Structure 1
Amino acid sequence: MDSPFPSRLAGPGRPVSVLLAGFAAALVLPILLAFGITLWQRAEADRAELEKTALEAARSAALAVDRELAGLSTALQVLTVSRELRDGNLRGFHLQASAVRDRLGLQVLLRRRDGVQLVNSRREWAEPLPRATLPDLDAAAWEHGRPVVSDFFIGAVSGRPLFSVQCPVRFGDGREAILALSLPVERIRQVLLDEGAPEGWTLAVVDGAGKVLARTTRQDEFVGQPTMLTLRAHMGGQGGTWHGTAAGGVPVLAAYAASQFAGWRVIVAVPVQQLTAPLRRSANLLIGAVLAVLLAAGLLAFLFARSIALPLQSLAKQAAALGQGEKLRPAPARVREVGEIAQAMVEASRRLRAREAELRTLNAGLERHVEERTEELVLANARLRQEAEERERAEAQFRQAQKMEAVGRLTGGLAHDFNNLLTVVIGNLGLLRRQLGPEAPERLLRAVHGADEGARRAAELTRRLLAFSRQQALAPEPVEVNRLVAGMSELLQRTIGEEVQVETVLAGGLWRALVDPNQLESALLNLAVNARDAMPEGGKLTIETANAYLDESYARTREEVKAGQYVMVSVSDTGTGMTPEVMAKAFEPFFTTKPVGKGTGLGLSQVYGFAKQSGGHAAIYSEPGQGTVVKLYLPRLREAGPAPIPPTAGTAEPLPAAAGRGETVLVVEDEPMVRDVAAAALEEAGYRVLLAAEGPAALELLEAHPEIALLFTDVVLTGPMNGKALADAVAARRPELPVLFCTGYTRNAIIHHGRLDAGVELLNKPYTGAALAAKIRQMLDAGAKRG
């Protein structure tokens, strides 16, 4: 070929590839071709001879099996002419069958067409025999009227692998039966063993159903097993051969021949290894010849190599210098290809040095880029982790909000109807108690008191549900928490008993809180009762106040917590404490560790709902055996000005049952029973009552009766307007008229974000008649003072 470099550098001579290729082709290829053809011809001849021998062995074994079966058929036909059998003497025939068994080793079986055995040489005479039948074989025997051979089966009496030869017989009295000779399959195996197959060959008999009847090897493992599908597919004719795989995955050359008497197939399997043994010997000869040829070729190659050794050594030195980065110089060579390579290496050396300088520059820039990119990836990874954590927290808060919304909807629906019913119950019980008077039978008074107590407990349960679901009406105001806690000390001590010591730790300079004081008192009382139950043998209850700041890191890990300043009230006990599993569920509604009937599971959930609805936070800290601390974080009030002093808990007297002075009160209530209770209570208190079931009717009464002194209306009304809309319409007509709302539950009419609208007077259902009359008296007197 033409060289890309000047001819003065390439040197004289022909290409070494041409010389070596011509030498190898001239020496090795003819020898390999001749040996390969000879080996192939020898292998084909050996294979054909082995197939012929195997097929002859299969035919010989099939003839031997037919001879054995023919002998058995003859013995069977001899038995069919037995006098005892013809006369129906079954006992005598059993003696003959036993003699045949003892002399010839053949088991004789006589059975009716329905399978009932009459004689069985395996059993003594009159011994019970099982039913046995071979339906297909019996049908063939009756159809042909001559002996037929069965396939493989398991004997009903012996439980062994058997085959049988059977034919129909008739008794002298015309009865019909099947006479059979039953033999173990080992008898056919012995026939195969007597054939004397060469070592390594396997002879087998496959019955008409495709199951192995006998084998010269591994008989117990394969007898009764179906042959492979590929094997059965090749046994369609009277004889033949095929190549396949025997059991165990051994490649074999197989030949088969059909038994003319029974329709069985006799198979001869020859391991392919025996066929390939001569081929391997020939291959060994070929390999030896090839090695000899290679040795001769090596000697010739050595002679050729001497002519190119020095140029190649020089080329190797140049390659080593190139690897070390040295500058190469052109050197002439006797072989043209070697000269071309040397010239190419010189050019490559020059280019490599230039590329090396370029790579150093690129590498420095790449390292800087990798460092910058790594820093970006680290920052991006940190952002992704933060976003994932925030997303998980948001999902958790969303699930909690959904749960709270579901509980709130359920609680609101229950509270509205349930509080209406409780108002009716409590109001009527109050009227009943007043009608009975103190002279009524004590048993009747106890019954009325018990019913009233049950109704009040139900009302408290509804209130707690509303508190947890954050649906209760709060009236937040500035509260001096230290004063409230100090005022509750006596009540708490009376409530929890003398076994528990109550201690208050009040912080100096405590901020004021914006919270509903009544609900805060109820929450503290709930916590004190829970603490008492956790200290059955007594202990110490500590109520502590402090200013607190919840930072951003704390708020990010807590649901619905906003960072900022709070007034903290903690209630701690020295009781049994909680496990982490119990503490995780403590705020859930209806969760309690108390026995059945000892608690509703709403105490802590009410505290939790009150704190959340007030815009604060509640947290539990507890360890088993170390007691529990519940902390309430209440929103701080930042507006300046004096705070009202809350009433001392437990010391305030209930509102007096003030009598009316004949004032007219308009009662608007869409529930008839509740309306009747309110009317009866007010009339009994000395008020004149006008009743309306909906807003338009109430406005008509207001126009017709200017003497109306107060409007008492339910917030939730049927009809075109609710209680708030009615109050707005009344205010447009008579702005000075006092309005008292009542409700069992409402969301947005007069309560927004859980708090009463400014200037709204509200009486929660269920209420008593005395509370209603006292509230109306209080509002009328306050209006009179302002007037």
Structure 2
Amino acid sequence: MRWHLAALAAALALPILGFVATLLWRVSVAERDRLEGEALNTARAASVALDRELTGLASALNVLALSASLQEGDLAAFHRKTVDIQDRLGISAVLRDRTGQQLVNVRSPWGAPLPKANLPEPEPEMWRSGRPVVSDLFVGAVARTPLFAVQVPVTRKGIDAPDILSLSLPVERIRQVILDQRPPAGWIVAVVDGNGLIVARNDRHEEFVGKSATRDLLENTRWREGTWRGTTADGARIFGAYSRSEVSGWRVAVGVPDRLFAAPLRRSLWILGGVGVALAVLSLLLALVFGRRIAAPLQTLAEQALALGRGKEVRPVVTSVREAARAGEALAAASFELRRREEELRNLNEVLEARVAERTLELTEANQHLIAAAAERESAEAQLRQAQKMEAVGQLTGGVAHDFNNLLTVIVGNLGMARRRLGEDGDNRVVQAIAGALEGARRAAALTQRLLAFSRQQPLAPEPVDANRLVSGMSDLLRRTLGEDVAIETVLAGGLWRAQADPNQLENALLNLAVNARDAMPKGGKLTIETSNTYLDEAYAVSRQEVCSGQYVAICVSDTGMGMSPDVVAKVFEPFFTTKPIGKGTGLGLSQVYGFAKQSGGHVAIYSELGQGTTVKLYLPRLRQAVIESTPSAAKPSELSLPAGRGETVLVVEDDQMVRDFAVAALEEAGYQVVAAPEGPSGLALLDAHPEVALLFTDVVLTGSMNGREVADAAGARRPDLKVLFTTGYTRNAIIHHGQLDDGIHFLGKPYTATALTTKVRELLDAPGR
């Protein structure tokens, strides 16, 4: 018993040892974390100090760039001024032209021959912004020592191309910035430029300046700040922290040797070992002492247990060990406890029977819930099948629209060219024939736009829309379109939110709904257009495909017509489905409304009852950001004249030969030089062969290995200043995402006319930027 108690004591001591070990380990980890945090803070502080130093130099450079002598081109006076600044501030100014030829160097007397500067070519950002930039490390052409420079473009009177003014400074200036931060003893602080070269170190500076930083530092310091583990340039194992300079992009790296990290752990292990040995000895001594006091009453309890087994009377044990005394009392009451447990078992059986009945009732209710859930799932599956059917039809119609738009481009474009060739005094019958053909082609184009609207592939240009103003502005158009038999009433909500939608497509959608309402009221009736602010809750969104809960602007179009049956209502949004007689409708009106609503991130719902009329509710997402009023668009150019080009060269990339021939003819007629290619790689080859190309006009959908977006990206990599105009009859998400043109994209949809093409090209060439 005594040895078992000793083992028990030892076992009890183990958690204490574990706690002490954990505590000491956490202390050591906290110490290491403190060192890591201090290293990162040191890197940040040094980076801030470096930025402060570079900002001051940039300010001084800006002041020097505004010098009157420099602006007037008096370089001798400017040299004298820079010599004075060098004497007072210790900074050296260098003026050089775009070829790198030094014009003024404060380190050389005025008039002395100057070599070309060793400074790297300035970044394009400096030429665009005109702000000072910091160069990487270089060896001065005159000083022959490691330097860095702060550069800025300057313009002198009478000189067309800007020169470059720079302050060349020794790297010891950066080292002094590091030393001013007073890093702890043994820590290594280094500044690494954008080429991975060491600019300065607080320790062994002269030995490592200009050498490449270690690979692990370059590979693990690509973000703004962070930590890594690796080695220093002299091979010492360190924990590293770094921070990037906001002004120069240089990395300030702080290395803490591993021996400083290991010291807290070694101290913890020594303390743990000493505490463990002391606890083990103390536990063994206490176990031997108390074991003697516990063994005797336990022996008595064993004898009483044997007596209880033989049915003899058992008396309580008299002992100072409270637990042993209680065990004796328990043995004495064992027979009574056995009889009591039998009674409890009978009661427990009755309770179990009652619980079985309750559980049976719960299972019945759960079964009913499962039946209801199965019904809901069947409804959701039906909605999914309907959505998949609509998606399949949308993909088919989108593909048809693509090929049809190419044909319409050729038809509309060549008819327009023929009309211009006739001029104002052409044969009236020929003019009327061409006008009729153009009107038919425009109707066909409108048909393809409805196909694209249903397939959600039309390029939308969403903007803030005041639905009340838009509905009011359509009143005259609706009255002329619907006739006198239809009374029009508008109910416009006060405080209506702004919506985010394409206003032209929204007008088309409302016009389609109004025309459908008129056809449903052959004997006349009443059309009501109502606006309101609406919130679609979670319950409404869950029961409908592609509907998100939230705030919407609702436009409701109601009629008092014949109404529709539930079977017809289920199909009204399908393309080419119509209840009108042959020749009275295409079946694309409601399909266009459906596609426009979904592509705009909204929702459309229809409610109808035979003999009572129909209501169509169009939900458009609420616009939350501030609204900036747009300026009126320019007047539409005449189709009988083309905006004149100025001899610029345009590269046309189009895989359809007829469309390509038309685009080339239209541009050449307008006065442009044109080169054309049937696919992406040959177009890029022409771009390389013709550096005078000012604009790329490319179809988005191309045959071959590259689409139009990839051709434009590759051309932009070669020519960052090249302007790009896209065209397509079917986008396939190359330049349109979430129903909207990507930022910075210039687009001309098919079919287009020669006037539309040349107008867009002229606008893009005259616009600043890419």
| Shorter-chain TM-score tier | 0.5 to 0.7
Which residue of structure 2 aligns with residue 715 of structure 1? 700
Q: Determine whether 1:726 maps to 2:708.
A: no
Q: Distance in 1 between matches of 2:434 and 2:588?
A: 27
Which residue of structure 2 aligns with residue 44 of structure 1? none
Q: Which residues in structure 2 correspond to 1:100-499 (within 5 Å)?
A: 362-363=349-350, 365-378=352-365, 380-499=366-485
Which residue of structure 1 aligns with residue 669 of structure 2? 684
Give deviations 1:87-124, integer Å, cap 9, x for gaps.
xxxxxxxxxxxxxxxxxxxxxxxxxxxxxxxxxxxxxx
Q: Distance in 1 between matches of 2:471 and 2:610?
A: 28
Which residue of structure 1 aligns with residue 652 of structure 2? 667
**In the alignment, residue 354 of structure 2 is paired with which amino acid?**
E
Q: Determine whether 1:528 maps to 2:510.
A: no
Q: Distance in 2 between matches of 1:572 and 1:763?
A: 36
Asked if 2 retains the 8 angstrom alpha-carbon contact of 1:480 and 1:643, the reply is: no
Q: Which residues in structure 2 correspond to 1:22-41 (within 5 Å)?
A: none
Number of residue equivalences: 426
Q: Distance in 1 between matches of 2:485 and 2:667?
A: 45
Larger radius of gyration: 1
**In the alignment, residue 641 of structure 1 is paired with which amino acid?**
A
Q: Distance in 2 between matches of 1:737 and 1:573?
A: 53
Which residue of structure 2 aligns with residue 773 of structure 1? 758
Which residue of structure 1 aligns with residue 307 of structure 2? none
What SS does the aligned partner of 2:570 have?
helix
**In the alignment, residue 434 of structure 2 is paired with which amino acid?**
V
Q: Distance in 1 between matches of 2:693 and 2:636?
A: 27
Asked if 1 retains the 8 angstrom alpha-carbon contact of 2:387 and 2:545, the reply is: no
Q: Distance in 2 between matches of 1:455 and 1:385?
A: 56
**In the alignment, residue 501 of structure 1 is paired with which amino acid?**
A
Q: Determine whether 1:699 maps to 2:699.
A: no
Give deviations 1:182-229, integer Å, cap 9, x for gaps.
xxxxxxxxxxxxxxxxxxxxxxxxxxxxxxxxxxxxxxxxxxxxxxxx
What SS does the aligned partner of 2:474 have?
helix
Unaligned runs of at least 5 residues, structure 2: 1-341
How much does 1:382 deviate? 4.5
Q: Distance in 2 between matches of 1:417 and 1:456?
A: 16
Give deviations 1:305-324, integer Å, cap 9, x for gaps.
xxxxxxxxxxxxxxxxxxxx
Q: Distance in 1 between matches of 2:635 and 2:511?
A: 18
Q: Distance in 2 between matches of 1:781 and 1:492?
A: 39
**In the alignment, residue 428 of structure 1 is paired with which amino acid?**
N
What SS does the aligned partner of 2:507 have?
helix
Identify the range of structure 1 (691-700 vs 722-731) with the bigger mean alpha-carbon deviation: 691-700
Which residue of structure 2 aligns with residue 747 of structure 1? 732
**In the alignment, residue 654 of structure 1 is paired with which amino acid?**
K
What SS does the aligned partner of 2:730 have?
coil
Which residue of structure 2 aligns with residue 600 of structure 1? 586
What SS does the aligned partner of 1:767 have?
coil
Distance 1:395 1:597, change over 3 A: same
Asked if 2 retains the 8 angstrom alpha-carbon contact of 1:480 and 1:645, the reply is: no
Distance 1:427 1:715, change over 3 A: same
Q: Distance in 2 between matches of 1:780 and 1:490?
A: 38
Q: Distance in 2 between matches of 1:498 and 1:647?
A: 32
Q: Distance in 2 between matches of 1:372 and 1:622?
A: 47
Give deviations 1:149-173, integer Å, cap 9, x for gaps.
xxxxxxxxxxxxxxxxxxxxxxxxx
Q: Distance in 2 between matches of 1:521 and 1:493?
A: 14
**In the alignment, residue 581 of structure 1 is paired with which amino acid?**
D
Q: Distance in 2 between matches of 1:489 and 1:589?
A: 28
What SS does the aligned partner of 2:583 have?
coil
Distance 1:521 1:408, change over 3 A: same
Q: Which residues in structure 2 correspond to 1:459-608 (within 5 Å)?
A: 459-608=445-594
Q: Distance in 1 between matches of 2:766 and 2:560?
A: 49
Q: Distance in 2 between matches of 1:382 and 1:513?
A: 44
How much does 1:546 deviate? 0.8
Q: Distance in 1 between matches of 2:496 and 2:761?
A: 37
Give deviations 1:359-400, integer Å, cap 9, x for gaps.
89745541332123312441x225413431342233223312
How much does 1:655 deviate? 4.2
Which residue of structure 1 aligns with residue 722 of structure 2? 737
Q: Distance in 2 between matches of 1:546 and 1:512?
A: 11
Q: Distance in 1 between matches of 2:694 and 2:477?
A: 39
Distance 1:496 1:428, change over 3 A: same
Asked if 2 retains the 8 angstrom alpha-carbon contact of 1:751 and 1:757, the reply is: yes
Q: Distance in 2 between matches of 1:506 and 1:697?
A: 56
Q: Distance in 2 between matches of 1:775 and 1:494?
A: 33
Distance 1:647 1:487, change over 3 A: farther
Structure-1-length-normalised TM-score: 0.51
What SS does the aligned partner of 1:729 have?
helix
Q: Distance in 2 between matches of 1:621 and 1:643?
A: 36
Q: Distance in 1 between matches of 2:457 and 2:394?
A: 7
How much does 1:739 deviate? 0.9
Asked if 2 retains the 8 angstrom alpha-carbon contact of 1:475 and 1:756, the reply is: yes
How much does 1:653 deviate? 4.4
Show structure 1 runs of 4+ deviating over 6 A.
355-361
Give deviations 1:504-550, integer Å, cap 9, x for gaps.
22212222222222211211111111122223333332221111111
Which residue of structure 1 aligns with residue 598 of structure 2? 612
Percent of pairs with identical residues: 69
How much does 1:415 deviate? 1.7
Q: Distance in 1 between matches of 2:601 and 2:559?
A: 26
Identify the range of structure 1 (772-781 vs 479-488) with the bigger mean alpha-carbon deviation: 479-488
Give deviations 1:424-451, integer Å, cap 9, x for gaps.
1111111122223344443333332222
Which residue of structure 2 aligns with residue 230 of structure 1? none
Q: Distance in 2 between matches of 1:742 and 1:748?
A: 13
How much does 1:630 deviate? 0.7
How much does 1:423 deviate? 0.7
Asked if 2 retains the 8 angstrom alpha-carbon contact of 1:505 and 1:543, the reply is: yes
How much does 1:402 deviate? 2.3
Q: Which residues in structure 2 correspond to 1:87-98 (within 5 Å)?
A: none
Structure-2-length-normalised TM-score: 0.52
Distance 1:386 1:566, change over 3 A: farther
What SS does the aligned partner of 2:666 have?
helix
Q: Distance in 2 between matches of 1:447 and 1:782?
A: 38
**In the alignment, residue 356 of structure 2 is paired with which amino acid?**
H
Q: Which residues in structure 2 correspond to 1:10-21 (within 5 Å)?
A: none
How much does 1:356 deviate? 14
**In the alignment, residue 485 of structure 1 is paired with which amino acid?**
V
**In the alignment, residue 471 of structure 1 is paired with which amino acid?**
Q
Distance 1:422 1:738, change over 3 A: same
Q: Distance in 2 between matches of 1:360 and 1:720?
A: 82
Which residue of structure 2 aligns with residue 631 of structure 1? 617
RMSD over equivalenced CA pairs, Å: 2.6
What SS does the aligned partner of 1:585 have?
coil
How much does 1:779 deviate? 1.8
